[in-house]
Amino acid sequence: MYIFDRHCVCIYYQDWHRHRKSGAGSGGGGSSSVFGTTSTTTSMNGHVDGDSGGSSSSPAHSSAANQLTSHHSTTSQLTSLTSIFSEGRMINIEEEAKLVYGVVFSLRNFVRKLSGSQDGFLAYKTSNYKLHYYETPTGLKFVMNTDPSVDSLRQILRQIYTNFYVEYVVKNPLSPSEHPAGEGVNNEYFKAAIDKFVKSLPSYES
């Protein structure tokens, strides 16, 4: 799971599946065949889940061209991300977080252009993994990758924000309101609460 602040910086990361090589960033413990990916295929047969947002009129030629360019850029980022997750390639967490955010940012904007909805992007699924997304009113972005068979975790991510992030981070007088680069959320109570909560979910398999 990744948490990005409104400045696009990854301020928290926790992993329930993959074991990174020494020297790379790591998150919480545990193992799961659902909260992570093990497939070795790299096919890009993914689709975006989102709100329909209603019908829209035919866009102008220039708008269509911009959307096409955006789509090509998004496809390139998705291919890179899918390759990393499906092949089990290990890169440092900073690089991975930047790639994940790039995919989320591109897909969110792409869905907004197509649907007209400001809250249309919900998830993205390939044959190897499913990326779940929730954005708070203050601009925090919660992202979690799971097995593609897992149902939407949007409400789960919302619970993590309202029940744990607000409780252990926002209300903590010792926790900074802003997190400069390199200084993410470092709260053991927050980490332990999320770990216990995720492992209690029906979709989690130990």
Query: Rounded to the nearest 5°, which phi and psi values hold at 160?
Result: -60, -40
- Please tell me the pTM assigned to this model: 0.67
3-state secondary structure at position 117: coil
Supply the pLDDT for residue 54. Answer: 41
Query: Which tokens hold the place of 105?
Result: 């940012």
3-state secondary structure at position 60: coil
C-alpha separations of 166 from 27, 160, 170, 193 in Å: 20, 9, 5, 12
For residues 115 and 52, is the Cβ–Cβ distance under 8 A?
Answer: yes
Q: Domains in the chain, please, with CATH? A: 2-199 (3.30.450.70)
Supply the pLDDT for residue 201. Answer: 92
Residue 24: is it exposed, middle or buried by C-beta count within 10 angstroms (0-12/13-18/19+)? Answer: middle
Rounded distance, CA 49 to CA 55, Å?
16
Rounded distance, CA 141 to CA 107, Å?
13
Q: Give, for all 206 residues of the chain, the pLDDT tens digit.
A: 999 998 888 999 998 875 544 443 334 444 333 444 332 222 234 455 654 344 334 444 444 444 444 444 444 545 555 444 445 556 678 888 889 999 888 888 888 888 776 677 888 888 888 999 999 999 999 999 999 999 999 999 999 999 999 999 999 888 777 776 667 888 899 999 999 999 999 888 74
Rounded distance, CA 24 to CA 70, Å?
31
